[in-house]
């Protein structure tokens, strides 16, 4: 009950804080062509109710800041949200970086800001995360080359960090010219989602797997695994927590192996880290009036200016064009388009 009251108070504060933004926009923005209801698609994960609850503070904030009814739409998968935008049933979305590329191709989606899932604001940082390959120490796997003849769990064929990026890393590491060679090199399975991929390795169902960095710590924090090994405040030991895990930063192969070697046999260890994957963009239908797109972008970027709002949302948004040296936010995701080309993925066919 106490938690429920605190949530209500937080939502009320968000609404009040965003009224000044709405007032400023009312005075300067032409609202011709704005939607009566703003529908934002978000990936539901494993629990639709939890996804909606997690995004409720953003919904309340945007509704007050824009002065129009705002609702969240979860769908059942990445593709259902993209299809909803293509059909005009969804106005905006946050569904993962690679799914954004699909939406840009088939649903006329335009990236206007990038989420940073931190509470310490750094406007110069280009938000991103990493795909990790991991195993149980003692498996004999210390590198991608060791995956030959072993079993490997990806997550979902549409997942950026759970399939597309690690598959590309295997492709490039082994100098394969055809993605089909990956399945000849290692016995591939799709676990279905990120938690399941971690559990498949922890339970010995497969020899190694791939996921995004924060998922490993989330599984440890939730008690799903108890043998994750990495840095803590006391040095190299395990299990690690989300605040202590080192792979949220870029690491060299030597640094990764230093941690690997210091971990005891039987612990879950990382043996490969991908290049930085740009974080999820907030994308809106490109055919909306520029005044509406500007208003939504301004509301998102204003979050970083108020630490209370950042704390409530547990994220803020940036325009990373200057920091990343790109002309458009969309161009930030060109490296993922290169991955699509390497894997022979037809974006319009997905």
Task: Quote the pLDDT of residue 332.
Answer: 94
Closest of 51, 90, 66, 76 to residue 14, by C-alpha: 66
Q: What pLDDT band is residue 230 in, cutting at 50, 70 and 90?
A: confident
Beta pairing partners, 116: 316
331 against 27, higher pLDDT: 331
CA 26 to chain centre: 33
Q: What is the mean pLDDT of residues 137-144?
A: 97
Q: What pLDDT band is residue 8 in, cutting at 50, 70 and 90?
A: very low
Q: What is the mean pLDDT of residues 118-144?
A: 94
Q: How far is CA 238 from CA 201, 208, 253, 267, 274, in A?
A: 17, 19, 20, 8, 22
List the CATH code of the domain at 128-277: 3.40.190.10
Asked if pLDDT for residue 350 goes beyond 80, the answer is: no
Contact between 306 and 113 (Cβ < 8 Å) = no
Torsion of CA 38, 39, 40, 43, to 10 degrees: 170
Spatial CB neighbours of 20, under 8 Å, sequence gap ≥ 6: none
Residue 245 CB neighbour total at 10 angstroms: 23
Query: pLDDT tens for residues 54-112?
Result: 899 999 999 999 999 999 999 888 888 999 999 999 999 998 888 899 899 999 999 99
Task: Quote the pLDDT of residue 14.
Answer: 54
d(CA 116, CA 129): 10
For residue 308, the surrounding DSSP H or E stretch is: helix 307-313
Q: What is the mean pLDDT of residues 161-169?
A: 94
Asked if pLDDT for residue 233 goes beyond 60, the answer is: no
**Domain extent listing, the chain:** 2-125+279-349, 128-277
Closest of 251, 282, 281, 5 to residue 130, by C-alpha: 251
Interstrand relation of 37-42 and 69-73 (parallel, antiparallel or unpaired): parallel
Q: Considering Cα of 86, then 90, then 95, then 97, what sign does the dihedral take?
A: positive
Task: Quote the pLDDT of residue 271.
Answer: 96
Asked if pLDDT for residue 291 goes beyond 60, the answer is: yes
3-class DSSP state of 227: coil
d(CA 29, CA 299): 13
3-class DSSP state of 125: coil
d(CA 128, CA 169): 17
314 against 241, higher pLDDT: 314
pTM above the 0.85 mark?
Answer: no
DSSP for 188-203, please give it. EEE-SSHHHHHHHHHT
Our CA angle for 106, 112, 114, nearest 5°, is 105
Domain 2-125+279-349 class in CATH:
alpha beta
Q: What pLDDT band is residue 4 in, cutting at 50, 70 and 90?
A: very low
Mean of all residue pLDDT scores within the chain: 86
DSSP conformation class of 224: S
Q: What is the mean pLDDT of residues 275-304?
A: 96
């Amino acid at each position: 009950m106490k938690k429920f009251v605190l949530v209500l108070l937080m939502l009320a504060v968000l609404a009040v804080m965003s009224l000044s933004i709405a007032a400023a926009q009312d005075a300067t923005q032409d609202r011709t062509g704005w939607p009566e209801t703003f529908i934002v698609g978000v990936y539901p994960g494993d629990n639709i109710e939890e996804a909606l609850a997690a995004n409720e503070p953003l919904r309340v904030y945007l509704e007050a800041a824009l002065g129009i009814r705002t609702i969240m739409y979860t769908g059942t998968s990445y593709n259902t949200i993209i299809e909803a935008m293509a059909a005009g049933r969804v106005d905006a979305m946050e569904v993962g970086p690679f799914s954004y590329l699909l939406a840009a191709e088939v649903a006329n989606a335009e990236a206007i800001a990038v989420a940073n899932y931190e509470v310490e604001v750094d406007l110069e940082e280009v938000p991103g995360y990493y795909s990790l390959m991991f195993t149980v120490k003692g498996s004999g796997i210390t590198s991608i080359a060791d995956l030959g003849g072993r079993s490997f769990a990806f997550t979902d064929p549409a997942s950026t960090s759970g399939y597309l990026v690690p598959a590309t890393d295997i492709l490039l590491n082994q100098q394969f010219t055809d993605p089909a060679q990956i399945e000849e090199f290692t016995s591939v399975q799709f676990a279905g989602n990120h938690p399941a991929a971690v559990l498949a390795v922890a339970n010995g169902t497969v020899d190694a797997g791939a996921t995004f960095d924060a998922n490993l710590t989330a599984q440890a924090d939730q008690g799903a695994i108890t043998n994750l090994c990495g840095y803590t405040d006391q040095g190299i030991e395990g299990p690690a927590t989300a605040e202590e895990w080192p792979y949220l930063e870029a690491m060299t192969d030597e640094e990764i192996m230093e941690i690997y070697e210091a971990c005891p046999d039987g612990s879950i260890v990382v043996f490969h880290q991908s290049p930085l994957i740009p974080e999820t963009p907030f994308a809106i239908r490109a055919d909306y009036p520029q005044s509406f797109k500007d208003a939504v972008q301004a509301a998102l970027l204003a979050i970083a200016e108020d630490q209370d709002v950042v704390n409530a949302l547990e994220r803020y948004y940036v325009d990373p064009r200057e920091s990343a040296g790109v002309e458009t936010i969309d161009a930030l995701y060109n490296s993922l388009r290169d991955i699509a080309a390497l894997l022979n993925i037809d974006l319009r066919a997905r």
